[in-house]
Amino acid sequence: MGMNKNTVLAWATFIMIFVGFGLIALGAFKYEDVAGYGFGAVGIGFFAIAWVFNALKGRV
């Protein structure tokens, strides 16, 4: 049982959503200064890239 392209994109989407939530949580709960805004922005960027990966499933 091998992983095809759609399975790889699905796993990449899941991992990026998980990391995005982690970065947003770090920005919200651990860092109170300007670094928190940076972590939140990068977390939202991870969501955007995960959205693109999800949109590519079935087209690549």
Number of domains the chain is built from: 1
What pLDDT shows up at residue 3?
85
Domain coverage including residue 18? 5-56
State pTM to two decimals. 0.82
Go through 28-39 and write b for each residue having 16 or more CB atoms within 10 A of its CB, e for each that does not. Answer: eeeeeeeebeeb
pLDDT in tens, the chain (60 residues): 688 888 888 899 999 999 999 999 999 999 888 999 999 999 999 999 999 988 888 777
Phi, psi of 15 (to 5 degrees): -65, -40
